[in-house]
């Protein structure tokens, strides 16, 4: 467990503090245990994978074989745990209940729930001070569910807190549209769970605007189309900031993640069947009330006919507020680590190419501080769970002093099947989700130096 700051331990006696008990945070803990290092995982929610449980009704694009971590499986094996059918696709709820919570249970007291991190710093050093900085342990300020404040000490910090808590706004300029904040009673920033009777009633027979062009928007369109089959009058207006092109609906049957390709085809079918209509080049500027309904105004002066509900699925952003006293090296656009950003930049990688990467690309000026998982990608939408597992394998190897293992990255990535033409992510409203995005590297295990481009083919 973390050592209180009023004691005087040596740094190597301290635990590695992991923020977030989601898929990548728990994988980090499993790798730390495998390396003989003590983890302390802090989870703001009441159970493991709190964020994943929020989208329990959504099915992942990746099968079980690609969403469980090898070190975690080894830790679970003595309990009699057996990985579900590797070819089957779990929902978020399946992932949480059948893998993530059992993994957290095995870690036992090394996972604390109801603990929110409010600040990370170096002991006795604000971000300005250079003297002996790297020799000081980290101090981590936390607040428990009952409001109690604590200060913990750690030898290293792995931030796997994700991006789920900060969804992107409706405004096309990256800021909330005028009137957006006052219309929150009619706006959702999540894919709706239409199995919930209250949620179903909210959208049944209603006209709903869906804003976004990524996988989350596809999911919402498909769900609303299914609802329209049972509830007359249900209609979705799909609002895109760009036009419709060959890649608008993803890779289809050419996608190496078949579930992702099928999802795009379902969204296309919703439009073709008339359950959804597409409004292109519409960049929302203002949200107005029209009695009990909502009207959206675009930057070019266009006015959308009134809708009853709005679903905004324009990606997510990292919460950097509690890291203000440590030295981060972040790309000015993506808010991803500086060395990683060029490898995942959606402005450049039209087919979502993701090169293997590890501790080298994830390091910051603040030694032994790492952002991993979705948070490491900042605003980029191309993250896959297996990428996060490889990140923490490399980082924990480095923390254990095994630099050869840390520098060797082994990563298998699927092929998106949407290369060429306008890129799938050539617009900033491409939505981010837990399994969003993809890459164009041909499926093959790579054993190369960190940062070296894949030569296995692809785009």
| Domain ranges (residues) in the chain | 11-165+316-449, 181-312
* Helices marked H in 10-122: 23-34, 50-54, 70-76, 92-95, 101-107
Q: Which residue, among 271, 260, 307, 272, has the nearest Cα to 287 in the 3D structure? A: 307
Helix or strand (DSSP H, E) at 116: strand 115-122
pLDDT at 351: 36
Pairing, β 16-19 against β 39-43: parallel
The pair of three-digit structure tokens given for residue 322, joined into one six-digit string: 């509690």
| pLDDT(253) > 70 | no
Q: Which residue, among 327, 302, 339, has the nearest Cα to 130 in the 3D structure? A: 327
Q: pTM of this prediction?
A: 0.86
The pair of three-digit structure tokens given for residue 88, joined into one six-digit string: 């089957």
Instruction: Reduce the DSSP state of residue 343 to 3 states and report it.
Output: helix
Higher pLDDT, 9 or 101: 101
Q: What are phi and psi of 122, to 5 degrees?
A: -90, 140
Average pLDDT, stretch 202-208?
Answer: 98
Instruction: Reduce the DSSP state of residue 298 to 3 states and report it.
Output: strand
pLDDT at 456: 26
For residues 373 and 25, the answer to whether their CB atoms sit within 8 Å is: yes
Percent of the chain with pLDDT over 90: 72
* Helices marked H in 273-384: 341-344, 359-362
Residue 17 CB-density burial (10 A; 0-12 exposed, 13-18 middle, 19+ buried) = buried
The pair of three-digit structure tokens given for residue 246, joined into one six-digit string: 């060959």
**Given this chain, do its domains 11-165+316-449 and 181-312 carry the same CATH topology?**
yes
pLDDT at 252: 57
Burial track 217-249 (b if 16+ CB lie within 10 A, e otherwise): bbbbbbbbbebbeebeebbbbbbbbbeeeebbb
Distances in Å between the Cα of 51 and the Cα atoms of 56, 87, 93, 166 are: 9, 24, 10, 12
**What's the pLDDT tens digit per position in 157-166?**
999 999 999 9
Q: At what angle do helices 215-230 and 258-272 cross, to 10 degrees?
A: 50
CA–CA gap between residue 65 and residue 133 (Å, rounded):
42
| pLDDT(425) > 70 | no
**What's the pLDDT tens digit per position in 340-397?**
999 888 877 543 456 778 999 999 999 999 999 999 999 988 788 999 999 999 999 9
CATH 3.40.50.720 fits 181-312, yes or no: no
For residues 241 and 281, the answer to whether their CB atoms sit within 8 Å is: yes
Percent of the chain with pLDDT over 70: 82
| pLDDT(144) > 50 | yes
The pair of three-digit structure tokens given for residue 332, joined into one six-digit string: 């000015």
* Helices marked H in 327-376: 341-344, 359-362
Average pLDDT, stretch 196-205?
Answer: 97
CB atoms within 10 A of CB 372: 28
CB-hemisphere CA count at 13 Å for 432?
Answer: 27
Instruction: Reduce the DSSP state of residue 136 to 3 states and report it.
Output: coil
Rg (the chain; Cα; Å):
22
CA–CA gap between residue 457 and residue 417 (Å, rounded):
12
For residues 407 and 397, the answer to whether their CB atoms sit within 8 Å is: no
Instruction: Reduce the DSSP state of residue 122 to 3 states and report it.
Output: strand
Q: Which residues touch 272 (CB under 8 Å, ≥6 apart)? A: none
pLDDT at 250: 62
Can you point out the beta strands (E) in 123-261? 138-144, 149-154, 156-159, 187-188, 207-211, 235-239
Higher pLDDT, 20 or 438: 20
* CATH code for the domain defined by 11-165+316-449: 3.50.50.60
7-16 long-range contacts, CB within 8 A, separation 24+: 9/153, 11/135, 11/137, 11/155, 12/155, 13/155, 14/137, 14/153, 14/154, 14/155, 15/39, 15/40, 15/110, 15/154, 15/155, 16/40, 16/154, 16/155, 16/156, 16/157, 16/158, 16/396, 16/399
The pair of three-digit structure tokens given for residue 318, joined into one six-digit string: 């990292």
Report residue 215's pLDDT band, with 50, 70 and 90 as the boundaries.
confident
């Amino acid at each position: 467990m973390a050592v209180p700051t009023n004691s005087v331990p040596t740094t190597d006696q301290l635990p590695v503090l992991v923020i977030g008990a989601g898929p990548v945070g728990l994988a980090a803990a499993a790798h730390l245990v495998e390396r003989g290092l003590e983890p302390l995982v802090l989870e703001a929610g009441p159970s493991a994978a709190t964020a994943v449980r929020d989208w329990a009704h959504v099915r992942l694009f990746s099968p079980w074989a690609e969403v469980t971590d090898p070190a975690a499986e080894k830790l679970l094996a003595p309990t009699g745990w057996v990985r579900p059918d590797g070819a089957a696709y779990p929902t978020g709820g399946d992932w949480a209940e059948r893998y993530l919570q059992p993994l957290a249970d095995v870690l036992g007291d090394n996972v604390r729930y109801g603990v929110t991190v409010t600040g990370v710093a170096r002991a006795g050093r604000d971000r300005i001070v250079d003297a002996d900085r790297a020799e000081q342990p980290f101090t981590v300020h936390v607040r428990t569910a009952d409001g109690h404040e604590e200060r913990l000490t750690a030898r290293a910090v792995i931030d796997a807190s994700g991006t789920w808590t900060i969804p992107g706004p409706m405004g096309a300029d990256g800021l909330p549209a005028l009137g957006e904040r006052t219309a929150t009673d009619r706006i959702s920033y999540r894919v709706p769970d239409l199995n919930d009777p209250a949620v179903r009633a909210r959208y049944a027979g209603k006209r709903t605007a869906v804003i976004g062009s990524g996988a989350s928007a596809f999911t919402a369109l498909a769900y609303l189309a299914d609802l329209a089959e049972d509830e007359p009058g249900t209609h979705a207006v799909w609002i895109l900031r760009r036009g419709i092109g060959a890649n608008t609906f993803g890779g289809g049957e050419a996608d190496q993640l078949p579930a992702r390709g099928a999802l795009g085809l379902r969204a296309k079918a919703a439009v073709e069947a008339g359950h959804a209509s597409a409004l292109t080049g519409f960049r929302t500027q203002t949200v107005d009330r029209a009695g009990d309904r909502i009207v959206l105004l675009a930057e070019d002066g266009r006015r959308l006919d009134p809708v009853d509900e709005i679903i905004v699925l324009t990606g997510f952003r990292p919460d950097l507020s509690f890291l203000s006293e440590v030295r981060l090296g972040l790309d000015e656009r993506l808010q991803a680590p500086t060395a990683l950003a060029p490898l995942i930049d959606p402005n450049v990688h039209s087919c979502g190419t993701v090169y293997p990467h590890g501790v080298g690309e994830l390091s910051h000026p603040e030694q032994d501080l790492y952002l991993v998982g979705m948070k490491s990608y900042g605003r980029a939408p191309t993250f896959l769970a297996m990428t996060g597992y490889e990140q923490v394998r490399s980082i924990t190897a480095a923390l254990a002093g095994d630099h050869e293992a840390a520098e060797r990255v082994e990563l298998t990535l699927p092929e998106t099947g949407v290369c060429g033409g306008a890129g799938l992510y050539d617009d900033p409203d491409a939505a981010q989700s837990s399994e969003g995005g993809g890459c164009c590297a041909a499926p093959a295990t790579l054993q190369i130096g960190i940062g070296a481009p894949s030569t296995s083919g692809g785009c």
